[in-house]
Amino acid sequence: MEKITMKTPLVEMDGDEMTRVLWGMIKEELLLPFIDLKTEYYDLGLKHRNDTDDQVTIDSAHATEKYGVAVKCATITPNAARVEEYDLKQMWKSPNGTIRSILNGTVFRTPIIVRGIEPCVRNWKKPITIARHAYGDIYANTELKVEGPAKAELVVTDQNGNETRELIHEFKEGGGIIQGIHNVTSSIESFARSCFNYALDQKQDLWFGAKDTISKKYDHHFKDIFQEIYDKEYRARFEDAGIEYFYSLIDDIVARIMKSKGGMIWACKNYDGDVMSDMISSAFGSLAMMTSVLVSPSGVYEYEAAHGTVQRHYYKHLKGEETSTNSVATIFAWTGALRKRGELDEIPTLIKFANKLEQSTIETIEHGFMTKDLTLITTMEETVTLNSLDFIKAVRKTLENYI
């Protein structure tokens, strides 16, 4: 069989621990035999980030802007223990945070659905994608504890020194607590555009919920921005694509999501996205079956698995013990990136390959061959638990039947 050729390179961001091991296996078994893989390689493994003073992370984000599509392996976000373990020069920032701030993007997380791993919510038949606005609100807050009787005010001083004041609360004996939060119009606009673009890309409805009846300025601002951008820039394209944008109160959205069949993109404010994405991923089965894509408002895509580097499995692997680590979300990061590359460069064979690899991965599981995390939650009666490499080899066998 002739290998598929590529035109533009993919930005390849390698990572850490067990997912780095899976990364190599996936390339070896599922990609290199079939594709003349063209990537611009960045080693985001913690050692190399430390060696380059984290410049490699910044370079990889700029390369993503240049080429338009990246695929990323999970990476360690250092904490004190990691500083010691890797003898780091400093506690480098989260690579995902660095990349996100350069690309100014929104993260969309989608569960991978297979028969036999049933969602807890029976009527969910299609995946629900969560888009979280990862800027501001309580994640960039200022808080105070108020002791005893006191007056708390919101004060805004403009460039000319003019003050606007609003009373928050007159505290009585016993005091209380107070919190200041903010968001920025440009960030909300970017979030809205990323969501509208991704809905068009996926041909799925976009739902957005906030609490504008209670928060008449703050949450209302989100609602207004979404509506204005939709009306001006996206309404016609949504109508052509046969999809819709739907706004409602966040509690109404939650109720409707529970009763829905799934298949929509759900845009969430920062806190809602934090909480709801954990609910969605656990309700659909497993963190190891969640994909994640960062989409910039200008239409740049970075694909990855939603889970981390699976550290506990890596330490077993280092001791020479067998692991049964689920590679599905990492495989789907690759297929997402390859499909997008194929779409942008108009390479139908590459798009077809990406689809076939996804189908083969799902079929392999549906035929009962899976890693241990799935054996533990499946409703299938007869299953075979495979180790990390054997699962990938089983996917290859299924794939070869198609090719």
Q: Which does 311 bind (CB under 5 to 8 A by kind): ligand NAP, Mg ion, none?
A: ligand NAP
138 binds Mg ion (CB under 5 A): no
279 binds Mg ion (CB under 5 A): no
* 107 vs 128 by CB, closer to ligand NAP: 107
- Closest separation in Å from C-beta 77 to ligand NAP: 4
Residues that bind ligand NAP (CB under 6 A): 74-77, 96, 287-288, 304, 307-312, 325-326, 373
The one segment of 253-261, 269-277, 284-292, 335-343 that binds Mg ion by CB under 5 A: 269-277
Pick from 70, 52, 46, 50: which is nearest to 60 by CA?
Answer: 70
Q: Which does 130 bind (CB under 5 to 8 A by kind): Mg ion, ligand NAP, none?
A: none
φ, ψ dihedrals at 130, nearest 5°: -100, 130
Coil, strand or helix at 305: strand
- Closest separation in Å from C-beta 278 to Mg ion: 4
Distance of CA 16 to the CA centre of its chain: 18
CA dist 332 → 304, 306, 356, 360, 362 (Å): 8, 11, 11, 11, 10
252 binds Mg ion (CB under 5 A): no
Q: Identify whether the C-beta of residue 287 lies closer than 8 Å to the C-beta of residue 281.
A: yes
Q: For ligand NAP, which residue has the nearest CB?
A: 308
Binding Mg ion (rule: CB under 5 A), the pick from 189, 274, 343, 366 is: 274
Q: Which does 278 bind (CB under 5 to 8 A by kind): Mg ion, ligand NAP, none?
A: Mg ion
Pick from 7, 63, 1: which is nearest to 346 by CA?
Answer: 7
Q: Which does 77 bind (CB under 5 to 8 A by kind): ligand NAP, Mg ion, none?
A: ligand NAP
Binding Mg ion (rule: CB under 5 A), the pick from 278, 321, 322, 400 is: 278
- Closest separation in Å from C-beta 292 to Mg ion: 13
377-382: long-range contacts, CB 8 A cutoff, minimum separation 24: 377/117, 377/285, 377/286, 378/116, 378/117, 379/116, 379/117, 379/118, 380/116
Q: Which does 383 bind (CB under 5 to 8 A by kind): ligand NAP, Mg ion, none?
A: none
Count of C-beta atoms within a 10 Å radius of residue 298: 14
Helix or strand holding residue 369 (H, E): strand 369-370
- Quote the CA–CA distance of 254 and 252 in Å, as a whole number: 5
Q: Which does 30 bind (CB under 5 to 8 A by kind): Mg ion, ligand NAP, none?
A: none
- Closest separation in Å from C-beta 286 to ligand NAP: 7
Q: List helix spans (H) across 244-347.
A: 250-259, 270-284, 311-318, 328-345
* 36 vs 278 by CB, closer to Mg ion: 278
- Which amino acid type is present at position 180? G
- Closest separation in Å from C-beta 132 to Mg ion: 9
Pick from 272, 258, 266, 259: which is nearest to 211 by CA?
Answer: 272
The one segment of 194-202, 204-212, 237-245, 271-279 that binds Mg ion by CB under 5 A: 271-279
- Closest separation in Å from C-beta 180 to Mg ion: 22
Residues making contact with Mg ion (CB under 5 A): 274, 278
